[in-house]
Amino acid sequence: MDIGKVLISADEIDEKLTEMGAAITRDYEGKDLLLIGILKGAFVVMADLARHIDLPVEFDFMAISSYGSATKSSGVVRILKDLDQEIADRHVLIVEDIVDTGLTLHYLLKNLQVRKPASLELAALLIKDGVERPPLEVRYEGFHIPPKFVVGYGLDLDGKFRNLPYVAEVEGAD
Ligand code: IMP
Ligand code: MG
């Protein structure tokens, strides 16, 4: 499979993350914010988004494995690495690369809500349109994209292409 057309350029991503970071900075002013990145895909978004947030944020990460083929999610989620810290009474913002079926986030929200954070919100760089998913409120969203498999900016195909500085389609993936 080859990298197809560039869907979102590095400059467009940077501009969007600047806006998202400004909104987060405004909304969490005076609050103690914990960012939770979902590994591995979200590590690039997390690093760049966080640098546009002008607050003393803390970081934590969860690693999730969602079973399925290389390009289709199955909805069965397993926690490979849990948070290092407790989140009770903390303001928590989950940072994700992409919302596809939404099953991963749906599962995570349920799992984290039980730990009684002061607040729990979502930020995602990409949202796939035209996909049926459980109700999910993404407070900070980047771009809506067609329901095609994409790579780059943290997103992989069989572990590769996460390092591309842009988001691109994959020829022959769907
Ligand atoms: P979900 O279907 O919303 O649960 O997505 C779960 C995970 O699948 C995301 O966090 C990504 O890591 C991965 N994923 C979903 N769509 C794509 C894609 O188009 N390219 C690469 N990874 C994807
Ligand atoms: Mg993945």
**Domain containing residue 142: CATH number:** 3.40.50.2020
Phi and psi (nearest 5°) for 94? Answer: -85, 130
For residue 67, which phi and psi values (nearest 5 degrees)? Answer: -70, 155
**What pLDDT score does 174 carry?**
63
Task: Compute the distance from residue 17 Cα to the ligand 1 centre, in Å.
Answer: 19
Per 3-state DSSP, the chain is made up of helix, strand and coil in percentages (nearest 5) of 20, 40, 40
Q: The tokens 């459980």 sit on which residue?
A: 134
Q: Over the chain (174 residues), what is each successive 10-residue block's mean pLDDT?
A: 91 98 98 96 97 98 78 75 97 97 90 97 97 91 96 95 97 72
Instruction: Find the ligand nearest to 96 CA.
Output: 1
Determine the pLDDT at residue 69. 61
Beta bridge partners of 96: 124
In the structure, which protein residues have their CB atom closer than 6 angstroms to any atom of ligand 1?
A: 41, 66, 73, 96-104, 149-151, 155-156
User: In this predicted structure, what is the pLDDT of residue 172?
Assistant: 76
Q: Whose CA is nearest to atom 6 of ligand 1?
A: 104
Domain total of the chain: 1
Distance 29 CA to ligand 2 centre (A): 32
Distances (CA, A) of 142 to 17, 32, 95, 124: 7, 23, 11, 6
Mutate to test the pocket of ligand 1, among 98, 136, 167 (most ligand atoms within 8 A of CB): 98
* Distance (Å, whole) CA 32 – CA 106: 24
Q: How far is the CA of 30 from the centre of ligand 2 (A)?
A: 34
CA dist 72 to 9, 25, 101, Å?
24, 34, 9
Phi, psi of 54, rounded to the nearest 5 degrees:
-95, 60
The pLDDT value recorded for residue 68 is 62
Q: What is the residue range of 56's domain?
A: 2-171
Output the pLDDT for position 66: 73
pLDDT at 118: 98
